[in-house]
């Protein structure tokens, strides 16, 4: 016990003396938490649109003004030449081209149906898909309005009207959705990277030689490395939670204690992963390369940015063995929905299993190498 | 009982591709200051790492104070002090913190064993709040020695403690080891410097993983049979070439400002004849005289016999 205490004391001294490391641990994640959520936003605005209006009628003008009034589109050019408009798309200056054919108004009144051409620039896939969907809905809306006002002579409109409501995130605010996930990502990076680097550093500068000829037991050395970063992980998470409350107004719906209980187990798994990497690397450069590879995969395949359900089957399997997937899910469930232990216990069991597995492997491998 | 005992130790690296130590046997008596002398790659560090339980030998048996390095490694770790060749203390902790840390992990206190390190620690005490990484090379060595001594070890292993240290600090360091002998600690020291060998009670000359000779330095020098001459002239480089060509010269090599050589026949006549020949060949200010062999001469001779 006394040995463990002196080791912990030594570790904390070393961490708190390394001012750059301290900044990386505490300041960098928080800056990321302040900056990243604003970038991770799927709401698309300022879609540039070119209109080819060869009709030049009241109907076409009204449609264009309705589109620009929607707030999502910037009408770049309204020309009557298709070639001229297409040049905008080719130069990547326009995202979507909308062609209103000659006789749009006339035909609309006479035959009560008309066709429009929409060309989306799919270089930026998200913008193309979301943009055409927005444009489609604006046109549909206008279509409905025309029908009620003109064609049916003010009579009641037919068809089905859909009203939707977003549960758990009524304003459909992306920050509310992203911040808890990003917080998980940051805690993972701090925990996984720092623990691995710290152990490898002792190997690299040779201090482990001196430690290995003392009566310090392996488990004492390992605990001495993991406990400080477990505490730091908890601290970073708490500060992150505070920032999301102050900056983004996110107040967890569910039980904080449950969140912390899950974090406690999750950190053991992440730190174990760091320990495992450290047993396979001799230098900090090797360790950072391995960690970087895994964190990249973990971050992108965790459902943080894109839903897991839309990944191909094999990718879903990777997501399933990714600890981040579970914690991000739990964070969103507890923070946004207020889920209780009953809802997340299966997640907890999986993470607990991972923690045991990865630590067991790490300790086994640690023995073999030294 | 010997303080350190190695019997037929073999150690290879890279799955047998590189042999570091072959059939190595050695006994170090209690309280002895024993030196492993040899160039880089002779296997000195491997011996230390086996004895300090850091690595396992492929075959053979080794023990420290009667404890087997494989079976009783935990006992050994409590009883030995080890100073690796590379400075292995925490550079970001201060002098005092390093010492306190190692005292605590050995379940003792600085106060309890202060008499052990007093002479050495007093020299670095003015810097006790300085980080170890900011110390000079000589002071780092002193701190490392203090940390290796703080638990009153029975056997002290010092792997090339004077490599990379200035001449004055080297001398001081050996004086400290002399002082430590009074505490009855057995010490095993390695060094590539032949001139340091005379400070040991006994030495083993090592080359490529085996022992060439093992004895007290005095005895080793005494066993150097035949006469050794030193020679110099204004044309040192040519002198070496000329001597190597000469049929009567058995062995010649550069040694400081002189060349050392042995002749096939130790008689005065041969030496005189050689001298005359060299003068004829145009060597100026030629000096050629008998000299006392050193450990290095013994080592070179043993190497050539191999």
Cα atoms in the Cβ-side hemisphere of radius 13 Å centred on B120? 30
Pairing of strands B210-215, A73-79: unpaired
CB A304 within 8 A of CB A295: no
B111/B233 same-domain check: no
User: Over 90: is that where the pLDDT of A234 sits?
Assistant: yes
Q: Which residues of chain A have a CB within 8 Å of the CB of B78?
A: 215
Beta strands B155-158 and B59-64, pairing class:
unpaired
Same-domain status, A245 and A322: yes
Residues A70 and A14 reside in one and the same domain: no
pLDDT in tens, B62-82: 999 999 999 999 999 999 999
Average pLDDT score over residue span A362-367: 82
Same domain (yes/no): A226, A278? yes
Cβ contact B139:B98 at 8 Å: no
Give the E-state strand segments of chain B in sequence order: 4-13, 18-28, 33-37, 59-64, 67-68, 80-83, 155-158, 186-191, 202-207, 210-215, 228-232, 249-255, 258-263, 287-291
Residue A160 is assigned to a structural domain of this protein:
no
Residue B306: which residues within 8 A CB-CB, separation 6 or more?
B207, B212
Nearest to A215 among B86, B97, B105 (CB): B105
Q: How high is the pLDDT of residue A1? A: 80
Comparing CB atoms, the residue among A3, A14, A213 nearest residue B92 is: A14
pLDDT of residue A367: 66
Within this chain, do residues B77 and B186 fall inside the same structural domain, yes or no? yes
pLDDT band at A240 (very low <50, low <70, confident <90, very high): very high
Query: What's B290's domain CATH number?
Result: 3.30.70.920
Distances (CA, A) of B99 to B15, B84, B85: 38, 16, 18
Three-class secondary structure of residue B39 per DSSP: coil
Give the residue with greater pLDDT, A331 vs A145: A331
Query: A275 and A142 share a domain?
Result: no
pLDDT at res. A172: 67
**Residue B56 is part of which domain span?**
4-221
pLDDT in the model for residue A151: 60
- Sign of the alpha-carbon dihedral angle for B104, B110, B111, B117: positive
pLDDT mean over B29-56: 93
- Give the H or E element holding residue B57: none
- Look at residue A156 and tell me if it is in a domain: no
Total domains in chain B come to: 2
Find out whether B153 and B80 touch, Cβ atoms under 8 Å: yes
Question: Are residues A333 and A230 part of one domain?
Answer: yes
Helix H or strand E segment including B246: none
pLDDT for residue B153 is more than 90? yes
Contact list, B52 vs chain A (CB under 8 Å):
213
Q: What is the mean pLDDT of residues A170-191?
A: 84
Where is average pLDDT lowest: B46-60, B187-201, B233-247?
A: B233-247
Query: Residue A51's domain is classified under what CATH number?
Result: 3.40.1710.10
Nearest to B88 among A6, A13, A206 (CB): A206
**B54: chain A residues, CB-CB within 8 Å:** 209, 212-213, 370
**Mean of the per-residue pLDDT values for chain B?**
90
Please check whether residue A119 lies inside any domain of the structure: yes
Mean pLDDT, residues B141-154:
94
pLDDT in the model for residue A6: 95
Which residues lie below 8 Å from residue A176, measured CB to CB, with a gap of 6+? A169, A248, A250, A336
* Same domain? A127 vs A96: yes
- Per-residue buried b or exposed e for B99-131, using 16+ beta carbons within 10 Å of the residue's own CB: bbbbbbbbeeebeebeebbeebbeebeebeeeb
On whether both B20 and B111 belong to a single domain, the answer is yes
Q: Does any domain span residue A103? A: yes
Query: Do A54 and A36 share a structural domain?
Result: no
- Say if residue B115's pLDDT is above 70: yes
Chain A residues in contact with B147 by the CB 8 A cut-off are: 210
- Total domain count, chain A: 2
Write the pLDDT tens digit of every residue in A60-97: 888 899 888 888 888 888 888 888 888 888 888 888 99
Count of CB pairs separated by less than 8 Å, A with B: 62
Of the candidates B221, B241, B260, which is a domain's last residue? B221
**Whether residues A195 and A279 fall in one domain:** yes
pLDDT in tens, B196-237: 999 999 999 999 999 999 999 999 988 888 888 998 888 888
| Contact of A358 with A266, CB cutoff 8 Å | no
Determine the residue of chain B that is closest to A369 in CA distance.
B55
The whole-angstrom separation of Cα B7 and Cα B59 is 9
pLDDT for the residue A154: 47
Residue A369 has a pLDDT of 45
Nearest residue to B248 (alpha-carbon basis) of B269, B233, B234, B217:
B269
Q: Does residue A212 form part of some domain? A: yes
A17 and A91 both lie in a single domain: no
How confident is residue B137, by pLDDT bands cut at 50, 70 and 90?
Answer: confident
- Higher pLDDT pick, A227 / A369: A227
Please tell me whether residue A65 adopts helix, strand or coil conformation: helix
Query: CA angle, A118 as apex, A112 and A124 as ends, to 5°?
Result: 155
* A236/A319 same-domain check: yes
A370: pLDDT strictly greater than 50: no
Query: Which residues in A lie closer than 8 A to residue B82 (C-beta atoms)?
Result: 209-210, 213
Are A213 and B88 a contacting pair at CB < 8 A? no
Q: Are residues B146 and B284 in the same domain?
A: no
Give the nearest partner residue to B84 out of A6, A14, A210, using CB atoms.
Answer: A210
In a domain, A165, yes or no: no
Four-point Cα dihedral B148, B152, B155, B156, nearest 10: 20
What is the largest distance, in Å, between two alpha-carbon atoms of chain B? 73
> Is A144 within a domain?
yes
**Residues B56, B197 share a domain:** yes
Q: Does B105 touch chain A (CB under 8 A)?
A: yes
Residues A76 and A224 in one domain: no
Among A151, A180, A215, identify where a domain stops. A151
Residue numbers of the domain that contains A281: 2-40+170-369
Residue where a domain stops, chosen among B221, B255, B290: B221
pLDDT tier at B286, thresholds 50, 70, 90 = confident
Buried b (16+ CB within 10 A) or exposed e, A130-154: bbbebbeebbeeebeebbeeeeeee
Q: In what order do the strands lie in the sheet with B18-28?
A: B18-28, B4-13, B59-64, B67-68
Q: A4-18, A259-273, B212-226: lowest mean pLDDT where?
A: B212-226
- Asked if A301 contacts A315 with a C-beta cutoff of 8 angstroms, the reply is yes
Assign A153 a pLDDT band (cuts: 50, 70, 90).
Answer: low
What was the pLDDT predicted at A358?
Answer: 94
End of a domain among A151, A182, A209? Answer: A151
Bridge partners (DSSP) of residue A178 are none
d(CA A236, CA A231): 9
Residue B49, pLDDT score: 93
For residue A370, list chain B residues with Cβ-Cβ distance below 8 A: 54
Final residue of a domain: which of B158, B189, B221?
A: B221
User: Which residue of A16, A208, A209, A210 to mutate against B (max B Cβ within 10 Å)?
Assistant: A210
The answer to whether residue A266 sits within a structural domain is yes
CATH number reported for the structural domain that contains residue B207 in this entry = 3.40.50.300
Domain C-terminal end among A122, A151, A180: A151
- A195 and A308 together in one domain: yes
Helices (H), A94-217: 104-111, 125-146, 174-205, 207-212
B165, B250: one domain = no
Question: B244 CB contacts (<8 Å, ≥6 apart)?
Answer: B252
Do B54 and A7 count as a contact with CB atoms less than 8 A apart?
no
What is the distance in angstroms between the Cα of A220 and the nearest Cα belonging to chain B?
A: 11
């Amino acid at each position: 016990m006394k040995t463990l205490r002196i080791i912990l004391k030594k570790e904390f001294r070393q961490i708190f003396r390394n001012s750059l490391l301290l900044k990386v641990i505490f300041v960098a994640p928080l800056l990321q938490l302040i900056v990243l959520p604003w970038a991770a936003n799927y709401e698309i605005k300022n879609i540039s649109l070119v209109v080819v209006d060869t009709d030049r009628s009241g109907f076409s003008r009204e449609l264009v003004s309705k589109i620009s009034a929607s707030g999502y589109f910037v009408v770049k050019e309204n020309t009557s030449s298709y070639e001229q408009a297409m040049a905008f798309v080719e130069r990547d200056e326009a995202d979507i081209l909308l062609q209103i054919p000659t006789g749009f108004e006339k035909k609309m009144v006479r035959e009560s149906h008309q066709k429009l051409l929409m060309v989306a620039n799919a270089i930026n896939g998200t913008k193309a898909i979301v943009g055409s969907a927005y444009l489609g809905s604006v046109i549909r809306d206008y279509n409905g309005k025309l029908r009620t006002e003109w064609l049916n002579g003010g009579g009641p409109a037919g068809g089905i009207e859909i009203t939707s409501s977003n549960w758990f995130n009524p304003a459909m605010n992306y920050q509310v959705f992203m911040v808890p996930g990003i917080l998980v990502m940051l805690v993972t990076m701090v925990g996984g990277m720092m623990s691995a680097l710290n152990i490898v550093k002792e190997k690299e500068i040779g201090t482990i030689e001196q430690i290995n000829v003392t009566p310090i037991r392996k488990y004492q050395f390992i605990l001495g490395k993991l406990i400080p970063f477990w505490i730091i992980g908890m601290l970073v998470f708490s500060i992150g939670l505070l920032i999301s409350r102050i900056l983004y107004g996110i107040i967890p719906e569910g039980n904080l204690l449950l969140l912390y209980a899950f974090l406690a187990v999750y950190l053991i798994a992440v730190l174990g992963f760091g320990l495992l990497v450290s047993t396979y690397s001799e230098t900090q450069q090797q360790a950072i390369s391995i960690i970087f590879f895994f964190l990249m995969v973990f971050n992108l395949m965790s459902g943080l940015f894109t839903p897991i359900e839309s990944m191909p089957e094999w990718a879903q399997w990777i997501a399933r063995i990714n600890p981040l997937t579970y914690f991000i899910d739990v964070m969103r469930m507890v923070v946004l929905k207020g889920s209780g232990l009953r809802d997340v216990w299966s997640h907890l069991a999986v993470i607990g299993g991972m923690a045991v597995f990865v630590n067991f492997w790490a300790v086994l491998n640690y023995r073999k190498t030294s | 009982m010997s303080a350190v005992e190695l019997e037929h130790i073999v150690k290879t690296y890279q799955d047998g591709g590189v042999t570091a130590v072959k059939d190595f046997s050695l006994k170090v008596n209690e309280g002895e200051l024993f030196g492993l002398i040899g160039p880089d790659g002779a296997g000195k560090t491997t011996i230390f790492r086996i004895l300090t339980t850091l690595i396992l030998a492929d075959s053979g048996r080794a023990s420290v104070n009667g404890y087997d390095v494989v079976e009783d490694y935990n006992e050994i770790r409590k009883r030995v002090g080890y100073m690796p060749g590379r400075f292995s203390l925490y550079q970001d902790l201060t002098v005092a913190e390093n010492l306190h840390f190692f005292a605590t992990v050995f379940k003792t206190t600085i106060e309890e064993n202060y008499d052990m390190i007093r002479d050495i620690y007093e020299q670095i005490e003015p810097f006790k709040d300085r980080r170890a990484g900011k110390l000079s090379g000589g002071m780092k060595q002193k701190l490392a020695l203090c940390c290796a001594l703080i638990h009153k070890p029975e056997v002290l292993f010092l792997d090339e403690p004077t490599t990379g240290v200035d001449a004055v600090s080297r001398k001081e360091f050996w004086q400290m080891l002399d002082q430590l002998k009074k505490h009855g600690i057995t010490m095993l020291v390695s060094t590539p410097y032949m001139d340091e060998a005379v400070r040991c009670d006994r030495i083993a000359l090592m080359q490529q993983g085996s022992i060439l000779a093992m004895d007290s330095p005095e005895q080793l020098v005494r066993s150097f049979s035949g006469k050794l001459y030193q020679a110099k002239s204004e044309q040192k480089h040519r002198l070496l070439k000329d001597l190597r060509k000469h049929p009567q010269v058995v062995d010649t090599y550069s040694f400081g400002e002189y060349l050392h050589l042995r002749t096939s026949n130790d008689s005065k006549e041969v030496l005189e004849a050689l001298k005359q020949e060299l003068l004829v060949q145009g060597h100026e200010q030629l000096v050629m005289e008998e000299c006392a062999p050193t450990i290095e001469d013994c080592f070179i001779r043993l190497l050539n016999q191999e």
